[in-house]
A and B are shown apart, each in its own frame.
Chain A
Amino acid sequence: MQAIVARNLTRDYDGLRAVDGISFAVEPGEIFGFLGPNGAGKTTTIRMLTGQLLPTCGTAEVAGYDIVTERQQLKPRIGVVFESQNLYERMSARENLVFYARLYRCPKTRVDEVLAQVGLTQRARDKVLKYSNGMKQRLLIARALLHNPQVLFLDEPTRGLDPHIAGHIRGIIAGLAKGGMTVFLTTHHMEEADQLSRRVAFFDRGRIVVLDTPARLKAEYGRDDNTTLEDLFVQLTGSDLRRANEEL
């Protein structure tokens, strides 16, 4: 069984097509890089796959459950790290996690485990208000891991973080995939996507432009051996921006 299967997934907002009939599949234990410029529809795709948003048409299954008709069964099987740092800031990290542990009906010992996993044990009793961006990001990951989900959605998990923290978070993500967790990753860091993802999809204006392993994409579309994933990303996506630049 595949971890994620999307078939002709489409979403319109007020007549504008944000996601335009995308189809793809993600294998269990795979880190799947979903890469696109700002406004390409990445977050909308994640919102659909996590059951937060209804597709206008098309279907998808995540962890074997339909995102529309089996949403309630789907929810305990997915973890989501949102683009925004949506934590209860007046509460401590531990209180945040205990609250979600109760919602997911996890034992409290799990809170200590995930705190240790993201390296926040020492600061667990501090209010989130006092946390740095990097600590908040690690806490978001801890929250998403509490219930040991089959599929983890990460929406730009290293955005705005210094290289040390970003590296630490990448280490966590790689470890999760090694443990068998499927990771759906969106990021603007092409090096990060290249380093972590088994396969990547370039996504632009609501459509998947290409989808393959980073190595194959470089071989097929690269101009030379030194072509990076970032070069390919610039080459294959952002057509609107390129056109605007040319007009200037």
Chain B
Amino acid sequence: MNTLRDTLYFAWTIGTKDILDAVKHKSSRANIMIMVVMVVFFYWFGTLRPFDRNVSVVLYDEGNTRLAFEPVILGDGAKYSFREATSLPEMQRMMAHQNLGLVVPADLDQILSVGGTPLLRGYVFWVDRTKAAEREARYSQAFTEMLGQTVKVAIGPNIVIPQADVDGMPATVAFQMVYFVFSTALLLIPHLMLEEKQTRTLDALLTSPVGSGQVVLGKALAGLFYVLVIGGLAMALFSPYIVHWGLAVATFLGYALLAVALGLLVGSLISSMKQLGFWMVALMLLLVIPPLFYLESNLKAGIRIVLTWLPSSALASLFRYSCSTGATWAQLLPNLAIVTASIGLVFGLVFWRVQRSDR
């Protein structure tokens, strides 16, 4: 009987062999680079949006002033549009898709009429917390231009953490994590098993002192390498959005383990590249696309109930909660249970498949 130490040794030996092989092999390197470019591109295009000069503002007018803010394009080309909230909490909630929350003081009209400098309280998202000073200057300048006299926008500690149940960037980030991690796993990991089967090197491995479980663990280790490189890059890029690091890291680990298990399961089920293509499309449709809809708040209840059971939906929810506030244990625990059970089930299936080829 192999001890735990033996198991870890064999898994490490097989895993490092595969990782070195991937690093040396041109097509593996090219696949990793494709995924890296994809992550960086989606982050730049979908999250940073450097070309987007529009500023959406949610106003809460404390004194119901006579001032009406209309959409305006300023001298620097930035377009400002406005929506109105009836209370401060509503303003914070409505900020889901907006850049700036602005509290208009009750005495704004009076201050403006005497030529004073009104102070508008600005609110920005958690992700912009490090840019508060820069935003203060930018918005002060913008509203000075809009109102034709000096205005000061003060942000200070007014940082809004997104609510767990509203749409917005946390949902976008959570979906992108699902997409990157699962795409990486499905693109790269099945080859680890498929090649061993196609070249029959799996037979040689299984007549060596290595057991089938240790082969799976070794492959999982190599798979984790891919997922940690790509998912780790995505996680690093999205780190400014993360509010609860413990939950975020645990969820990332969940993403990684489930993705690796799925990649290995596909690799153990298929015997050709053609079959791999079919499985990739099927799993992308079944697991990767649904969270996109699941994270939308206006999804029909019936569809939501079905999608709730998907581990990828559960993972996306958990990652969204790690980038927001207000999630309860009642929201967290079912998702954690679905993810944990799915990881166990899929790894169990992989062990079973490899054990069958073993005997």
| 10 A-B residue pairs with CB within 8 Å | A72-B209, A72-B211, A82-B203, A86-B199, A86-B200, A86-B201, A88-B21, A88-B201, A103-B13, A104-B208
Per-residue CB contact flags for chain B residues 280-296 toward chain A (1 = under 8 Å, else 0) read: 00000000000000000
The complex places the Cα of A88 from the Cα of B25 at a distance, in Å, of 12
Q: Does A90 contact B (CB under 8 A)?
A: yes
B residues in contact with A51, CB < 8 Å = 207
Q: Which of A31-59 contact B (CB under 8 A)?
A: 50-54
A residues in contact with B211, CB < 8 Å = 72
B residues in contact with A89, CB < 8 Å = 199
The complex places the Cα of A104 from the Cα of B10 at a distance, in Å, of 10
Q: Does B338 contact A (CB under 8 A)?
A: no
The answer to whether B208 touches A103, judged by C-beta atoms less than 8 angstroms apart, is yes
Q: Does A102 contact B (CB under 8 A)?
A: yes
Q: Which of A64-80 contact B (CB under 8 A)?
A: 72, 75-76, 78, 80
> A91-B21, A103-B10 known; A52 and B206 CB under 8 Å?
yes
Q: Does A84 contact B (CB under 8 A)?
A: yes
Q: Does A24 contact B (CB under 8 A)?
A: no
Q: Which of B24, B25, B210 contacts A103 (CB 8 A)?
A: B210
Q: Does A221 contact B (CB under 8 A)?
A: no
B residues in contact with A207, CB < 8 Å = none
Interface of chain B, main secondary structure: helix
With an 8 Å Cβ cutoff, the count of chain A residues facing the other chain is: 25
A residues in contact with B210, CB < 8 Å = 103
Chain B: CB-nearest residue to A88: B201
The answer to whether A86 touches B204, judged by C-beta atoms less than 8 angstroms apart, is yes
The answer to whether A82 touches B204, judged by C-beta atoms less than 8 angstroms apart, is yes
Q: Report the 4 A-B pairs with minimum CB-CB distance, sorted nearest first.
A: A86-B200, A84-B200, A103-B208, A86-B201
Q: Which of A119-150 contact B (CB under 8 A)?
A: 143
Q: How far is the CB of B17 from chain A (nearest CB, A)?
A: 5
Q: Does B274 contact A (CB under 8 A)?
A: no
The complex places the Cα of A19 from the Cα of B263 at a distance, in Å, of 36
The complex places the Cα of A109 from the Cα of B135 at a distance, in Å, of 65
The answer to whether B358 touches A52, judged by C-beta atoms less than 8 angstroms apart, is yes
The answer to whether B207 touches A80, judged by C-beta atoms less than 8 angstroms apart, is yes
Per-residue CB contact flags for chain A residues 71-115 toward chain B (1 = under 8 Å, else 0) read: 010011010101010111111000000011011110000000000
A residues in contact with B24, CB < 8 Å = 90
Chain A: CB-nearest residue to B204: A86
B residues in contact with A54, CB < 8 Å = 359
Q: Does B2 contact A (CB under 8 A)?
A: yes
> A52-B359, A53-B359, A103-B13 known; A86 and B203 CB under 8 Å?
yes
Q: Which of B343-359 contact A (CB under 8 A)?
A: 358-359
Q: How far is the CB of A229 from chain B (nearest CB, A)?
A: 29
A residues in contact with B301, CB < 8 Å = none
The complex places the Cα of A84 from the Cα of B197 at a distance, in Å, of 12
The complex places the Cα of A82 from the Cα of B209 at a distance, in Å, of 16
B residues in contact with A53, CB < 8 Å = 359
Of residues B13, B17, B205, which shows the largest number of chain A Cβ atoms within 10 Å of its Cβ? B17
> A72-B2, A86-B200 known; A50 and B207 CB under 8 Å?
yes
The complex places the Cα of A53 from the Cα of B25 at a distance, in Å, of 33
The complex places the Cα of A78 from the Cα of B10 at a distance, in Å, of 18
The complex places the Cα of A236 from the Cα of B233 at a distance, in Å, of 67
The answer to whether A99 touches B207, judged by C-beta atoms less than 8 angstroms apart, is no
Q: How far is the CB of B20 from chain A (nearest CB, A)?
A: 8
B residues in contact with A105, CB < 8 Å = 209
Q: How far is the CB of A89 from chain B (nearest CB, A)?
A: 7
Given A52-B203, A75-B208, 7 more contacts at CB 8 Å?
A: A75-B207, A80-B204, A82-B203, A88-B21, A91-B21, A103-B10, A103-B210
Q: Does B306 contact A (CB under 8 A)?
A: no
The answer to whether A52 touches B207, judged by C-beta atoms less than 8 angstroms apart, is yes
The answer to whether A143 touches B204, judged by C-beta atoms less than 8 angstroms apart, is yes
Q: How far is the CB of B6 from chain A (nearest CB, A)?
A: 10
The complex places the Cα of A102 from the Cα of B214 at a distance, in Å, of 14
> A53-B359, A90-B24, A99-B13 known; A104 and B204 CB under 8 Å?
no
The complex places the Cα of A86 from the Cα of B200 at a distance, in Å, of 5
Q: How far is the CB of B2 from chain A (nearest CB, A)?
A: 7
Chain B: CB-nearest residue to A46: B207
A residues in contact with B199, CB < 8 Å = 84, 86-89
Q: Which of B179-214 contact A (CB under 8 A)?
A: 199-201, 203-211
Of residues B24, B25, B203, B208, which shows the largest number of chain A Cβ atoms within 10 Å of its Cβ? B208
Q: Does B330 contact A (CB under 8 A)?
A: no
Per-residue CB contact flags for chain A residues 194-237 toward chain B (1 = under 8 Å, else 0) read: 00000000000000000000000000000000000000000000
A residues in contact with B10, CB < 8 Å = 103
The answer to whether B1 touches A72, judged by C-beta atoms less than 8 angstroms apart, is yes
A residues in contact with B2, CB < 8 Å = 72
Chain B: CB-nearest residue to A146: B208
A residues in contact with B359, CB < 8 Å = 52-54
Chain B: CB-nearest residue to A105: B209
A residues in contact with B201, CB < 8 Å = 86-88
